[in-house]
Structure 1
Amino acid sequence: MKFLSRLSALVAIALCGVFLAACEPSQAGEASRAAARAEQANVTAQQDVMARATAQTPVPVIKNFLARKNLAEYMKRMDDPAKTWYVYILADNGAKLGYYVASTYPQSSCSFMTPPEQVKTIEDVNGVDPAVVVSAPSLMGVYYKGGGCDNTFFFDASSNALIILTGVKTWASDVPLNVDAPLITVAKTQS
């Protein structure tokens, strides 16, 4: 009988401990729940502001989609292999140094055909594989440090020469502009 009394007392104490542990949230769990409530309050506030803003000033019904038409026209012109481009070179003070007639639109030398970064996983001592972003090798077989992309290149229309401009301001147009600027040509070389 004493044994059953003691066993009943131990079971009652154990159940009370489980009950109290379940009722008392851990500090980490409470902090996590508080952060989630704060995030939800912020999202609710943003949604409320947008609902009131839209009610006060509704989004207009667009009929002409001019921005989309402009982008489509831009893409058509950029995709035309027969397009001639006039690339005007400006000095730092804005003076027109001259212009090239190019067979391609000037583009940044930091335009790549493959992604400049790749994601790698590195196994640490605990067997966890965190992901890190690293520079990917270029198609030229070298790595670039990133940033500093102030080179522009294009191809001369009459000679197909590669022209690379560094640190200069340019304008480009698919028609010649009525500006006072000398034509820059590629020198003839003897074979």
Structure 2
Amino acid sequence: MTLKIVSEATGGRIQNETPIDVLTVGAAGLITLPGNLVMPAGVLKQAGNKKIGCSVFISANTAFTRNVDTKIPYTGVGWNPNGAFNTSTNRFTPDVPGWYAVHLTSSTNGDAASDNCQTHINKNGFTNITVGLTNTSSAVLLVCVHSGSQLVYMNGTTDYIEGHVYRGQASGTCTLNGDAGGSANRLSAILMYPD
């Protein structure tokens, strides 16, 4: 995969020759993109010495309401160098405008069969990116795992991102799976191209 960022003379558009489908998040929250990042000379702008991004996760199993779109309550912080992720609101609100690589992984369990599981990256309170959508007509889905990545533009003032899940099931409880390493439910973001 090669991600090219073209010059501002062409409007600063981002071209993705092959869709980004995987980001690797290390134990300390370090985000690694697959492939090579190619930038023409003079295009990359620095965000000073700021490290902008976050890597947050759910450290213990957390119940959530079935048949309701639910904001994921991240309890563990792997990496949040400038405090852009607020653990009280569960929002990532960076103070530097630009394009961010955002990755969301969710794992949910239900004690009753589910026929609809969804995972979304919400920007400014709206479903902006559907990371995963699983529908089964046989209603036998007890465990649902989704993972996906997207480049998202953030304005550096009011734009924010949240992780959301939904499980459609007739009865029983739903659980966001948690673990100390944060591999089951994680939201990661990193500034790729500042304005």
Q: What is the TM-score normalised by the length of structure 1?
A: 0.19
The one of the two structures with greater contact order (alpha-carbon pairs below 8 A, sep at least 6) is: 2
The structure number with the bigger radius of gyration is 1
